[in-house]
Structure 1
Amino acid sequence: MSETRPMNPPPHKSIMHETLNHFRHVGLWDPQSGLIRGQSDRYSGLRPEAVKSNLLRGASSDLSEFIWPKDQWPSVPHDDFHFAKNLPTVDLSGLRAGDAELRFNAARLLAKTFSEWGFVQVKNHGVPAEVIERMQNQARRFFNLPLEQKEKGVATRSSKHEQFGYGVESGFYYAGKPWIDRFQCRWSPVCEIREPVEKVFSPSDAEEFSYSIEVYNSQLDKLATKILELCALGLDLPENTFTKPFKGTAGDCIARMNYYPPCPLSSLTLGLGAHTDPNLLTILSQCKVGGLQVRKNDTWISVEPKPDTLIINIGDTFEAWTNGRFRSVEHRAVVNESEARMSMVYFASPPAKATIEVPEQLVTSKHPLWFRRSFTWEEYKSHLFQMHAGGNGVKISKQWLLKP
C-alpha cells in the first residue's frame, strides 16, 4: 500500500523529509539516536539539553526540528573570513588621549561606517582586557554547568523576570528552531541579574558571577555613551543629541550571554536567523570561534573574531532616529560541528518613555523625512511584542518606524 501524503506539504516539512531521507539512503542516519552515524558519541551529551532545555523545548530526538528551509541554509562557513578584512575597524584611542583632531576623525569614520555597513569593529575602546576575559570565563563556567543546575535560573511566567533568566526565547520567530542556548537579564533601569543567578550558584559563586557581569556592563555603559556622542559629532550634530534623552541614566538595557554548542547539522540550521536588532546600539564580544555573519550587498560576510576588538552595530531605533543616515542591517549566527561558540551581548536602548525625535538637521530636500518624526522606545517595543506574539517574521518589524 502506498504511503498517504498531504497534497501540498509545507516547504519546511518537505525539505526536512527530503534531507532526512537522504541521510537514511546513504546510511548515515541512525534512527535510534537521531544523529548522523559516526558523530553520535560526540553529541550524545547534547541530546538531553535539546529535549529538556526550556530554550530548545519540544525538540524531537531526531533533530529534524532544527532543520531550516533550504533557502536559509548557510552558504558561507563560520570560519570563511575571505571578506572579513572589509569590515572596517575604528581606533578609539583618541578618546583617551584627549586629542580633539583624533576624536573628530574617529567620529567621521564611525558615522561613515554606520552609514555604509551598520557594523563596525572598535579597538582601543577603553574596556580593560581583563574585564572582558573574566566575563567570558564566567559565561563559559555557567554554560558548562549541568542542565539541571542551569535550569534553576529559568524565569517562571509569573515572575518579574519574565523573558529573563536561563533558556529564554529571543522573542523573535524565525523560519526554524535556532541552535542556541542563552542567559539573559535586565541591566537597566533596574538591575535584575542577581536573583536568577543566586538560584543557580552557591552564594560565593553567585557573587563572583554577578560582580563580573556588573563590572563588564558598567564599562559598556560608558562605551555606549562615547559612541553615541561620536555618532552625533560625525553627523555634525550637537554632541549630546543622542545622549540627552537618557538624562544621565543607562536607559533600557539588556545583558545576554549566547552559547552555540557543536552542531551535527551545521549546514542545515542556524544559531540565529537573519534579523535586525530593534534597539539603539548593540555591543558584542565574541570568543575566538567565528559565527557572526553580516549581510552586505546581498552577500553574507563572516566576521573574524579579534581579541582586541568589540563589535558595535546599529539597531532599528537608531536608524529611525537618524532618518536613515545610519543603517540597521541583517545579521545572523551560524554554527559548526566541532567547536562551541560563545558571545556576550549588550543591548542599549533609550529610557522607555523618552521621546525620540529626528533632528531637524537630518531632514533635507536630499534626505526627506522617511521615518516617524517622533516616537518612544516603549511604543516601538510594544509593537514588537504584538508582532512576534502573532508569529510574524523579524524582517517586517521595523516597518512601524517608517513615516505613517
Structure 2
Amino acid sequence: MDADPPFHEAYKTLFDKTIERNTPRNQLIDNKDNEQLVIVEECELPLIDLSRLNLGEPEREECKAEIARASKEWGFFQVMKHGISTEILEKMRFEQERLFKQPFHEKSKEDKYLRFSAGSYRWGTPSATNLKQLSWSEAFHIPLIDISPSGGFDSLGRESSTSNWVMWRTMLGHMDFTSSTTMEQFAATVSSLAQKLAGILAEKVSHKSTFFQENCLPNTCYLRMNHYPPCPIASEVFGLTPHTDSDFLTILHQDQVGGLQLVKDGRWISVKPNPEALIINIGDLFQAWSNDAYKSVQHRVVTNPLVERFSTAYFFCPSYDTVIQSSCEPSVYRKFSFREYREQVQADVQKLGSKIGLPRFLA
C-alpha cells in the first residue's frame, strides 16, 4: 500500500498546466523560473558551542554575544552541546520514519486511532494555484501538550487536558511506547533550550523580562515532523515553499540529506547538514519584538528526485491572545496580537498564494 501522498492525482490540474506551458514557445520562460532552484553556494551556518554557557563569565558572555550576532546577521545559526543526546536524535529519526511509512489512507484518517486533533496531518498545499506554490511534503503538527504526561498541569500549574497524551499512545497501537517516550524527551529538551535562547536574545537587546516564560507555554508551542518524499519533478516543485516562520524561534533537527536553503546577502544559499548540531532560526515575532534587531529571513526546502528527507521542527509560540509589542521606541511595527497576525497570514495565503507577513504590520 502506497505511503506517500497522491500528489499527482490531487494536483493534476496544476501538472497539466505545466505540461501545456512547456512548449517550445514558452520554454525560455520556464527555464528562467527554474533558475531560482539552482544552489548558489553551500555553506555552514555559524556554529555555537552551548557548553560555554556553563563556564566562567568571559566565555559565557562571548557565547551569548555570538548567539545575538548570528541572529542579527544571519537570522540562522547552529548549536552543539545542546543537551539532546545522539541516541535520542537517532530514535526520533527511526520512529518518525516508522510513522510516515504507514499507508497514506491510514495517516489521513485522523479518527482511526483517535490520534491527534483535526488538521494535525497535512500534506501538499491546498491553496496552490501553480506548482511553485506547491510543497512536496507531508507533516504531523503536534502541540507539545499532546505529548506531555505532565499529570494534567502546564508549567504554571494550571489544569490542562491529558487526553491527547492517551490518544498519542493509542495511535501507536501495536508499537511499544518508545515513540512517545522519545518524543517526550526531545520536546522537553528543545522547550528548555528555546526558553534559554529567548532569554539570552532578550538580554542582548537590553530587555530582561519574564515575557517568554509567561507566554510561550507547552499548550502554545508545537512540534512538526516533516517528510519530503522523492520528487520526480524536482526542478519544478519545492519541498517547502519560500517563507518566514510566524513564531519567536524555531529549533530544527534535520537528517543528512540536505535541502534547506536560506537568503543571505540577497542570494539563496544551501545549508550544509551537521550531524551534531541543531539549527535555530529567528521567527517573525522575534523580529517585531526586537524592533528589527533580529532578522526573520526567508528559507525553503528543495526537493530531491531520488532520496527522501526527514526533519523535526519545534516552534516557540505564544498564546493567540498575546500582544506583540516592540521592546524599544520608536517602534517599527504597531502592536498586534498573535491571533491577528496568524489570521492575516492565512488570509493572504488564501487570496494571494503567498505570505506577506510583517510588512502588513508596519507602524
Paired residues of 1:245 and 1:356 also in contact (CA < 8 A):
no
Change over 3 Å in CA distance of 1:74–1:132 after alignment to 2: farther
Paired residues of 1:106 and 1:230 also in contact (CA < 8 A):
no
Question: Given the alignment of the two structures, is residue 119 of structure 1 paired with residue 76 of structure 2, yes or no?
Answer: yes
Measured after TM superposition, the shift of residue 401 of structure 1 is: 2.7
Question: Given the alignment of the two structures, is residue 83 of structure 1 paired with residue 42 of structure 2, yes or no?
Answer: yes
Measured after TM superposition, the shift of residue 151 of structure 1 is: 2.8
| Aligned counterpart in structure 2 of residue 396 of structure 1, from 346, 356, 359 | 356
- SS for the counterpart of 2:142 is strand
CA root-mean-square deviation: 3.3
Question: Given the alignment of the two structures, is residue 229 of structure 1 paired with residue 229 of structure 2, yes or no?
Answer: no
Paired residues of 1:104 and 1:233 also in contact (CA < 8 A):
no
- SS for the counterpart of 2:88 is helix
Paired residues of 1:118 and 1:327 also in contact (CA < 8 A):
yes
Paired residues of 2:116 and 2:164 also in contact (CA < 8 A):
no
| Aligned counterpart in structure 2 of residue 264 of structure 1, from 232, 235, 238 | 232
Change over 3 Å in CA distance of 1:195–1:391 after alignment to 2: farther
d(CA) in 2 for partners of 1:311 and 1:346?
10
Letter in 2 for 1:92: L
Change over 3 Å in CA distance of 1:60–1:375 after alignment to 2: closer
d(CA) in 1 for partners of 2:105 and 2:356?
37
Could you say which structure has the larger radius of gyration? 1
Paired residues of 2:250 and 2:313 also in contact (CA < 8 A):
yes
Change over 3 Å in CA distance of 1:394–1:330 after alignment to 2: same
Residue 296 (structure 1) aligns with = 264
Greater CA deviation, 146-155 or 303-312?
146-155
Question: Please, what TM-score do these two structures have when normalized by structure 1?
Answer: 0.73
Question: Given the alignment of the two structures, is residue 94 of structure 1 paired with residue 28 of structure 2, yes or no?
Answer: no
Measured after TM superposition, the shift of residue 208 of structure 1 is: 2.6
- SS for the counterpart of 1:394 is coil
Change over 3 Å in CA distance of 1:57–1:149 after alignment to 2: same
Letter in 1 for 2:318: P
Residue 14 (structure 1) aligns with = none
Residue 163 (structure 1) aligns with = 119
Deviations 1:225-272 (A, max 9, x none): 11001112222332x35525438x346112111111111111121111
Residue 381 (structure 1) aligns with = 342
| Aligned counterpart in structure 2 of residue 201 of structure 1, from 160, 163, 172 | 172
Paired residues of 1:65 and 1:176 also in contact (CA < 8 A):
no
Letter in 2 for 1:202: G
Question: Please, what TM-score do these two structures have when normalized by structure 2?
Answer: 0.81
Structure 1 spans left out of the alignment, 5+ residues: 1-44
Greater CA deviation, 390-399 or 187-196?
187-196
Deviations 1:70-116 (A, max 9, x none): 46536455xx694313x211221122x24332221121111111111
Q: How does 1:260-339 map to 2 (within 5 A)?
A: 260-339=228-307
Change over 3 Å in CA distance of 1:335–1:146 after alignment to 2: same
Paired residues of 1:127 and 1:219 also in contact (CA < 8 A):
yes
Paired residues of 2:332 and 2:362 also in contact (CA < 8 A):
yes
Residue 73 (structure 1) aligns with = 34
Letter in 2 for 1:83: E
Residue 151 (structure 2) aligns with = none
Measured after TM superposition, the shift of residue 399 of structure 1 is: 2.5
Task: State, as a whole percentage, how many aligned pairs show the same letter.
Answer: 30
Letter in 1 for 2:89: I
Paired residues of 1:278 and 1:398 also in contact (CA < 8 A):
no
- SS for the counterpart of 1:153 is coil
d(CA) in 2 for partners of 1:308 and 1:377?
33
Structure 2 spans left out of the alignment, 5+ residues: 22-28, 146-153, 155-159
